[in-house]
Amino acid sequence: MRGVVLHAPGDVRVEDREDPVLMHPTDAIIRPSAVCVCGSDLWPYRGIEEVSGPTPMGHEYVGVVDEVGSAVNTIRPGQFVVGSFFASDGTCEICRSGYQPSCAQRVAMGAIGTQAERVRIPLADGTLVATPEHPPADLVPGLLAASDVLGTGWFGAVAAEAGPGKTVAVVGDGAVGLLAVLAARRLGAERVIAMSRHPSRQELAREFGATDVVEERGDDGVARIAELTGGLGAHSVVEAVGTQESMMQAIRSTRPGGHVGYVGVAHDVALPGHELFFSHVHLHGGPAPVRRYLPRLVDLVWRREIDPGKVFDLTLPLEQAAAGYQAMDRRSAVKTLLTP
Amino acid sequence: MRGVVLHAPGDVRVEDREDPVLMHPTDAIIRPSAVCVCGSDLWPYRGIEEVSGPTPMGHEYVGVVDEVGSAVNTIRPGQFVVGSFFASDGTCEICRSGYQPSCAQRVAMGAIGTQAERVRIPLADGTLVATPEHPPADLVPGLLAASDVLGTGWFGAVAAEAGPGKTVAVVGDGAVGLLAVLAARRLGAERVIAMSRHPSRQELAREFGATDVVEERGDDGVARIAELTGGLGAHSVVEAVGTQESMMQAIRSTRPGGHVGYVGVAHDVALPGHELFFSHVHLHGGPAPVRRYLPRLVDLVWRREIDPGKVFDLTLPLEQAAAGYQAMDRRSAVKTLLTP
């Protein structure tokens, strides 16, 4: 089968990979209908994360179940399914508490590489959510978004305790940040401030429910948020970048007692304890437990109440994956959808 | 009047200080019945915080109101009062949300120095809580504890979301850590693990409700907590020290999705973003909003439901403050009470 492999920073190839087989009785094999390129795929693509030899890429996926192992009970061949970027058993104490990416049996789908024609999904019963029936084509992008960026933005907004009466600021205008705007509004936030200096992303943020846009960054961005919130800072801030600057911008934009939800994978971040202490903020984040939200998110997409698929502004056949990575790297695309 | 002044690390003196006067119409002047030495007073005493010239010391206090300014409405001369270590107006949006130490008008009582015969209390109406009548002598230590260490331990336990069904670990066996044990139990925690290697402190921890004691520290302490919690970590961990080691011990002792409440004033702490991200913990803390809890805590002490005054194991006249600092520095006393 064909699949995407990163050989070195900037060197994405589509090549023949070995066909996956059922390795455990709890596995399923799916044929992805659509996969995509994640902001976090850009870290190794840009050489910020080390690339040690050829690496299969991708961790987002929707598709049709091809085969299931003997211990798979709820997922059946032929179903259309959405899964998260961590496979998880769904039964342990950590899964039941809603932190599936920390499941003791977790498997990072990024280590398997979903940008391919067929994909092995470990722990299929715990990981996959089936749609009521096969979706019409126009719903596929939205369902694919639920697999990571929507679920991650949603977790960011939940972790930031976005809700009625709250002012929420979002740091980062990638797909996750934009969908955190959508999530904050769906969760009832009164005011949602998107921090973006990119006109087309600002437009999408407004479409997703942003009430304000702040173009300034860093200290200037913090000052603008203060100005917009009577000097106090936002109640809730979602951080969706993962750098030292963006984390500090998020913390400093939050009022005392407010909540920072951080979902950008932290790279070279060190939080100054003294400042954090006196900031009085709540901090929560990490790899989003997308599986916790998937039934609700799939339902919202299915009933066309939300259209998170709008973050895909470039669709290419899998064979042209390299061009899809390049477009995201250059920020000419927000998010690339690939059709195997 | 006489008051405690720190001249240099290790050099605590009791000397004549200028008598306080009402500076603002919202001020009160009190005559402390009892004051005390705080773990955080040891930072400058040990030279870890810089001492720039003679510094009046102390921020904990209970006593009798002497005078009030013209704009003070609820506090009256003659009342016995308990206050927090931050004066706060009690009316701004941040105070009303329960984060009084971040009140825009806040005044750090440590900058005034309460280890003295008379003390000016800014924003008296917002800051002070009067007891129903003058307390019997044996309740004074408990009320004094409410002024900081009890309120701080309580906040730590609340920030860590201690509650029914939860396993709570407490890092730090100073007065705040010990009272966090008491708070966690009062808040309904099922199991409270005190981390201490000091026999008399272990005993007090058990008296305050600890169900387990762990003597190991650092990585060994983390491993013991894992052992005691089925490999998952505690639901809630209170950090009551403020060092890099204790913060990491707290974070690593918490299960994914669990809560760290940190109340040790952070010194030279830098939290590694990547580890924090994948830890999946909630982090909240800072200077405790003691004022939020004071009415409840004063009531619990008044009705003799709790006896937090037990943390005072050394009582000295104010004139012997230097010996009180020394005893805490050498850990021969948990906490020193001074009578002006």
B244-250: Cβ within 8 A, 24+ apart: B244/A273, B244/B268, B244/B269, B244/B270, B245/B217, B245/B218, B246/B171, B246/B172, B247/A273, B247/B271, B249/B171, B249/B195, B249/B217, B249/B218, B249/B221, B249/B222, B250/B169, B250/B171
- pLDDT tens across B155-206, in order? 999 999 999 999 999 999 999 999 999 999 999 999 999 999 999 999 999 9
Specify whether the CB–CB gap between A226 and A232 falls below 8 A. yes
Taking the complete model, does pTM exceed 0.90, yes or no?
Answer: yes
User: What pLDDT was estimated at residue A84?
Assistant: 94
Minimal CA separation from A268 to chain B, in Å:
7
- B102 vs A94, A266, A280: nearest CB: A280
**How many beta-carbon pairs below 8 A join chains A and B?**
111
User: What pLDDT was estimated at residue A141?
Assistant: 98
A80 phi and psi angles, rounded to 5 deg: -90, 130
Q: Is the CB of A243 inside 8 Å of chain B's CB atoms?
A: no
Rounded Cα distance between B297 and A136, Å, is 60
- A282–B286: do the CB atoms touch at under 8 Å? no
User: What pLDDT was estimated at residue B7?
Assistant: 97
Q: Is the CB of B231 inside 8 Å of chain A's CB atoms?
A: yes
- B93–A274: do the CB atoms touch at under 8 Å? no
| Tokens found for residue B217 | 């520290």
Rounded Cα distance between B131 and B302, Å, is 8
Low-confidence ranges of chain B (pLDDT < 70): none
Task: Please name the residues between 277 and 336 in chain A that touch chain B, using a CB distance below 8 Å.
Answer: 277-287
H runs (alpha helix) in chain A = 42-45, 93-96, 124-127, 140-146, 149-159, 175-186, 199-207, 218-228, 244-252, 273-279, 290-302, 321-329
Minimal CA separation from B158 to chain A, in Å:
12
User: What pLDDT was estimated at residue B121?
Assistant: 98
- pLDDT tens across B285-303, in order? 999 999 999 999 999 999 9
Classify residue B125 by burial, with Cβ atoms within 10 Å: 0-12, 13-18, 19+: middle
Specify whether the CB–CB gap between A150 and A60 falls below 8 A. no
- B266 vs A244, A276, A283: nearest CB: A276
User: What pLDDT was estimated at residue B151?
Assistant: 98
- A273 vs B97, B232, B266: nearest CB: B266
Q: Is the CB of A50 inside 8 Å of chain B's CB atoms?
A: no
- B272–A269: do the CB atoms touch at under 8 Å? yes
Low-confidence ranges of chain A (pLDDT < 70): none
Tokens 């012997």 label which residue?
B320
DSSP characters over B144-206:
HHHTTHHHHHHHHHHHTT--BT-EEEEE--SHHHHHHHHHHHHTTBSEEEEE---HHHHHHHH
A160 phi and psi angles, rounded to 5 deg: -85, 0
Residue in chain B nearest A259 by alpha carbon:
B284
- B102–A268: do the CB atoms touch at under 8 Å? no
Residue in chain B nearest A257 by alpha carbon:
B99
Q: Considering only CB atoms, which chain A residues are within 8 Å of B282?
A: 282-284
Q: Considering only CB atoms, which chain A residues are within 8 Å of B255?
A: 94
Q: Considering only CB atoms, which chain A residues are within 8 Å of B270?
A: 270-273
User: What pLDDT was estimated at residue A183?
Assistant: 98
Q: Considering only CB atoms, which chain B residues are within 8 Å of A244?
A: 273
DSSP characters over A69-119:
-TT--S--TT-EEEE-SEE--S-SHHHHTT-GGG-TT-EEGGGT--SBSSE
| Tokens found for residue B196 | 């201490």
Residue in chain A nearest B102 by alpha carbon:
A256
Rounded Cα distance between A112 and A100, Å, is 18
Minimal CA separation from A302 to chain B, in Å:
29
| Tokens found for residue B34 | 């009892």
Residue in chain B nearest A100 by alpha carbon:
B256
Angle in degrees, 0-180, between the axes of helices B149-159 and B175-186, rounded to the nearest 10? 50
Residue in chain A nearest B272 by alpha carbon:
A270
User: What pLDDT was estimated at residue B164?
Assistant: 98
